[in-house]
Amino acid sequence: MIHPRNIIISPIITEKSEKLARDNNMYTFKVSINANKIEIKKAIEKIFSVKVLDVNTIRMLGKPKSLGKYNGKRPDWKKAVVTLREGDKIADFEV
């Protein structure tokens, strides 16, 4: 089994994600591109000691970038929006 810290890369803290956390108890994370919803759910429950009700995942495509005459692309990544049980909170998102 993959270690939970290798599945959850980092929290995504933006104005929109803070509003989701405050109003709907939904938290946003950058996760491993190979992780599935079941692995993400287990990793969140183990790391933060909360109960996960739902996991939504989004594949984000990397943006094309250029540096002078060289063209390239940023890497693709995966985002997960996790809904927690009523009353559970994750302290990293509290501002």
Closest to 82 in 3D by CA, of 5, 25, 16: 25
pLDDT at 95: 57
pLDDT at 74: 96
The mean pLDDT values, 10 residues at a time, for the chain of 95 residues are 88 94 95 96 95 97 95 97 94 69
Select from 3.10.580.10, 3.90.650.10, 3.30.70.330, 3.30.110.40 the CATH code of 4-85.
3.30.70.330
In sequence order, which ranges of 1-95 are alpha helices (DSSP H)?
A: 4-7, 15-24, 37-48
pLDDT at 5: 87
What would the pLDDT profile of 56-69 be if each residue is shown by its tens digit? 999 999 999 999 99
pLDDT at 94: 65
CA distances from 90 to 40, 59, 69, 74 (A): 15, 23, 45, 29
Exposure of 24 by Cβ count < 10 A (0-12 exposed, 13-18 middle, 19+ buried)? exposed
